[in-house]
Structure formats: C-alpha cells, structure tokens
Amino acid sequence: MENRKLLEDSAHYLLQTYNRFPLVLRKGRGMKVWSSDGKEFHDFVGGIAVNVLGHCHPKVVIAIQKQAQRLIHTSNLYHIEPQIKLAKLLVDNSFADKVFFCNSGTEANEAAIKLARRYYHEVLNQHRFEVVSAINSFHGRTYASLSATGQEKFHKGFEPLVPGFKHVAFNDIDALEGALTKETCAVLLEPIQGEGGVRLPDPDYLSEVRRLCDKHGVLLIFDEVQTGIGRTGKLFAYEHYATTPDIMTLAKGLGGGVPIGAMLTTDKIAAGFQPGSHAATFGGNPLVCAAAIATLDLILEDGFILDQCRRMGKYFRSKLEDLKKEFPSLIADVRNMGLLVGMELTRDGAPIVKTCMDRGVLINCTSGNVLRFLPPLIVTEKEIDHLAEILEQIFDNLS
C-alpha cells in the first residue's frame, strides 16, 4: 500500500523527465539494494557507475558522518580543508597540476569547454572557439555539453544549440583531422564511449588523437566522467592508452555516491582562468570532498580494488562470451574494459532489463540494444555467476 502511494505521489509531484521503473529503492548495502516493499536486488547498475565501492560503504558513511558534525558547507570565498586535501590527492595520482570542483559531470564538461576557449582568448590571444567531439558521444545536458554530445536524440526540441561544435566518427583519425581548423580550440572525447554503447577505441587511436592535437595546436580533453575512478581497472582510463590529455573531467564514482564533479588540468592551461572566470556555489563542498577522499583512499589503498576490478572484468567478460557462444543469434558482441561492460544484442534490450529486474537483478540498456553493466568494483565471481545464470535462462526462453 505504501509503495503504491509513493509511486502515485512520484507521478503527481515530480517532473516526468525519466522513464522510471515502478520501483522505490529504500536501502542498500554493498552489491544489494532493497525496495520499499521489501524485495532484494543485485545491483549491476551501481547508480550508473557512481557506487564504485558499493552501497553505503562503512568508511564513506563514517567520513560523511564525521564531516557533517564538523562543517557541512561554507563558501568558496574561503579556503576549505577537505577540498584542498582532495585536490592534492587527485593531482598526486594524475597528470594534472590544478583542480576545479563542481557538482556533476555536465558541469565539469562545461568548465572544460569554457577553459579551453578562454585559454586561447586570454593567454594566447587567439580567436579559437570550435570544439570537435565524437558521434555517439555523451557529455551532459546543459547547453554547451549538450551541444558537444554527438547524439541527435538528446538535441531534439532544444535547438538552436550552442554554435562552435562539430561531431566526427569515433575511431576515425582521418575524419578528425579533416574537422580541425584554425578556429579549433579543443578535441573532446570519452576514452571509451559509455552512453554510446561501451565503444572502445582502437589501440592507437587516442595516441594518434594526441599527435594531431599537438600538430595543430589544439587542446585534448578527456571526458572520464564514466570511465574514471577505477572503473576500467586503472584509476583513469587514459592510463591504458599511454596518452595524456590537457584537461580531464570527472564525476560519478568520485564521491562514492554523493554529487561531485571535477575538472583537472595543467598549470599552463589553468592560466586561462582567473578569479571571477568561473565558479560553483557548492563546488568542493566540505561534505562531498570528505566522501571523495574516503572513496579515493580506499581505491588507492594497496591496489586491491583496482586489481579486483581487472580480475572481475576478465571473469565477467568470459561469462558473457560463453553466453555469446551459446546464443549467437541473440548476442552480437561483448565489450569491456574492467567493469565497464557491454553486451550488444541483435534485438531491443529493454524487455531483458525488465525481466532481469523481475528476477531480482538490476541492469541497464543503452543505445537501444546494448546491455550495459556497471557494478560496484567490489563485485564477486559468485554475483557475476548469479547474473549470468539469469541471463542464460532469459536467452534460453527467447531462442
């Protein structure tokens, strides 16, 4: 009765911007969540790559509790201790020298785009403003990040978009070079396209992009909102490809469940922003930074979680490859890097997502026919086996 009332109130009071499942999640621990009517689910969505340590990891919860007792919020007019410590942690473990904090991935990408344009205008005194991104990319829902997103379905009804954005095929270095002009300030790419269907680059593609950017004097921005914070088995996906960006954006997994975004860059590029250039009222708030510090400390501690991610990524792929051999008419491809996992189907994936939910497992579908799995990095073989068994039962009924 209570569950039904909650669903009715949701429909009545909330703007209907999501195709929500009729499910109210009330509690989570590790890999599991429970609904308001008491049903248990294995969560292979992970808040869409957010809950990297699972739900309510004790050390993250304690960090939030302690910080909430000390100081929840203060303005960026003043120095914020957890923000300074988090920035140092990110700089010490990346290519970057400086960090700007905000509240989400789309805000981080907005900051990156603004910095790229302003760097050429203020530091180099050049009129460069164009940003080249990839078809099937996803960079956010605010106007500049939406304009950078290479999927027309997200643009529909919001035109005119922000001028100065081009889209070229992902993995096509010739197409990218053909799009660069004297007005191009940046190339913006996800190292692995997440929302676009877990599309991995060719082994040399990103290094070739770096070479092109250097050749044409263009900045390289990596959107690691989904791929960062251990998701691929390294702290950042760019580490797999031995290619360093000029700017990187983070969010999702950074806070272990609380909303935080970050833009990282070098001292050289950071000179494009001065006091008053950009800001975020809640950016780098003490509470979220405390949660992010606890999350990063756990991921970096003795490398166990990153190693677990790599091992479980290989195991996960092997289980899905077994299913592909068993059901070749239903499964077209299996792709992954660590625990960013995609299974491309030969049919619509939405009914399979619904059937999995009915059987107590939460999964996701993107690009219409790609089942996407983004479990916490603490997932075990037993939990992957459980999912594989359910998928096998579903595919068996479809074949």
DSSP classification of residue 201: P
Distance CA 268, CA 282 (A): 26
Cβ neighbour number for residue 158 with a 10 Å cutoff: 11
Place of tokens 């990095």: 377
Distance CA 5, CA 43 (A): 24
CB 256 within 8 A of CB 83: no
CA nearest neighbour of 219 among 142, 114, 146, 101: 114
What Rg do the C-alpha atoms of the chain give, in angstroms?
21
Tell me how many degrees the CA angle 131-132-136 measures, rounded to the nearest 5: 125
pLDDT at 3 over 90: no
User: What's the pLDDT score for residue 2?
Assistant: 81
Q: Six-digit token pair at 206?
A: 């990103």
Output the DSSP codes for 336-348.
EETTEEEEEESS-
Fold of 2-56+305-398: Aspartate Aminotransferase, domain 1 (3.90.1150)
CATH architecture label of 58-302: 3-Layer(aba) Sandwich (3.40)
Distance CA 89, CA 77 (A): 22
Give the whole-number percent of the chain exceeding pLDDT 90: 98
Instruction: List the chain domain ranges.
Output: 2-56+305-398, 58-302
* pTM, to two decimals: 0.97
Burial class (CB within 10 angstroms; exposed 0-12, middle 13-18, buried 19+) of 91: middle
Q: pLDDT, tens digit, for every residue of 326-345?
A: 999 999 999 999 999 999 99
User: What's the pLDDT score for residue 170?
Assistant: 98
- Provide the β-strand partners of residue 342: 335, 372
User: What values do phi and psi take at 152, rounded to 5?
Assistant: -65, -30
C-alpha atoms less than 13 angstroms from C-alpha of 16 in its C-beta half-sphere: 7
CB 257 within 8 A of CB 34: no
CB 161 within 8 A of CB 143: yes
Under the banding of pLDDT at 50, 70 and 90, the label for residue 399 is confident
User: What's the pLDDT score for residue 1?
Assistant: 61
Asked if the peptide bond before residue 286 counts as cis, ω within 30 degrees of 0, the response is no
DSSP classification of residue 319: H
Distance CA 63, CA 54 (A): 15
Mean pLDDT over 158-166 rounds to: 97
Q: pLDDT, tens digit, for every residue of 48-107?
A: 999 999 999 999 999 999 999 999 999 999 999 999 999 999 999 999 999 999 999 999
Distance CA 137, CA 295 (A): 27
Q: pLDDT, tens digit, for every residue of 351-395?
A: 999 999 999 999 999 999 999 999 999 999 999 999 999 999 999
Burial class (CB within 10 angstroms; exposed 0-12, middle 13-18, buried 19+) of 341: buried
60, containing H or E segment? helix 58-70
pLDDT at 290 over 70: yes
Q: pLDDT, tens digit, for every residue of 186-206?
A: 999 999 999 999 999 999 999
Q: pLDDT, tens digit, for every residue of 175-189?
A: 999 999 999 999 999
Mean pLDDT over 293-303 rounds to: 95
Distance CA 51, CA 41 (A): 15
Active centre residues (catalytic): 138, 223, 252
